[in-house]
Amino acid sequence: MKLEKDNLYRAARNRMVKEQIIGRGISDERVLAALQKVPRHLFVEERLQDQAYGDHAIPIGEGQSISQPYIVAFMSEALGLTGTEKVLEIGTGSAYQAVILAELAARVFSVERIASFISKAWQIIDRLHYSNIVIREADGTYGWKEEAPFDAIIVTAGSPTVPTPLLDQLKIGGRMLIPIGERGAQTLQKVVKEASGIRITPLIPCLFVPLLGTFGFAPTGAASGPLPSGGTPPAVAQEVQTSLLPNKVRSQSEPSTMPSHP
């Protein structure tokens, strides 16, 4: 029975890559291999596993979701990883993106604000035997200064601007992917740090949950600005909610098999 189920998930994963990923123009062989290898269904609740390979995000609790497969593939390809890089991820969430990155880079450092996500992430990371991922609980807008500089940074939440600490922690020649805009709509931007300055290239329109923190959005009803001495950093939200790409990525407002958030 288990073998039969595994075969069904493998077939669904192959179909996902062929139709949703290759069919939309993703061509990096290493990215395709990673999405074909990693068992996405293990990163969601058992009751939702049959939906894991659908063309949509899936809720994981706390108002967060595991990103749509195409978004994971698009962002992973846009980072242009070769296997030697040290990558910082802001927003661990389900850990699906972190594991995909672990297939593509030498080391992955991931920052998450929700403790329960971290404990679940470690369970799946250990189960899949990944030893090149490290996770910490913190305000992601501060990055991970002790491990800087990074070859690449990926931010899975929308921010009003590029957080200064993240820019500071990016290596010269490094690249960052971050959604920039308002709470309700952003553009995924590719930021490249050069010796002469910063080069920013807009990629695709998108809609991510807001990046909450000192250098991101203030929590609803809270004042923004630096923390008082000894204060606890504001939280950082994570995980893509949906993309606004017309004809390519289904919005969560459209009919789909995705259930409402709990």
Q: Which amino acids are annotated catalytic?
A: 67
According to DSSP, residue 218 is labeled: P
Q: Determine contact, residues 71/249, Cβ cutoff 8 Å.
A: yes
Q: Determine contact, residues 177/190, Cβ cutoff 8 Å.
A: yes
Distance CA 126, CA 132 (A): 11
* CA dihedral sign of residues 28, 32, 37, 40: positive
Is the previous residue joined to 226 through a cis bond, with omega within 30 degrees of 0?
no
Spatial CA neighbour of 99 closest among 122, 74, 65? 122
Based on DSSP, count helices (H) and strands (E) in the chain, helices before strands: 6, 10
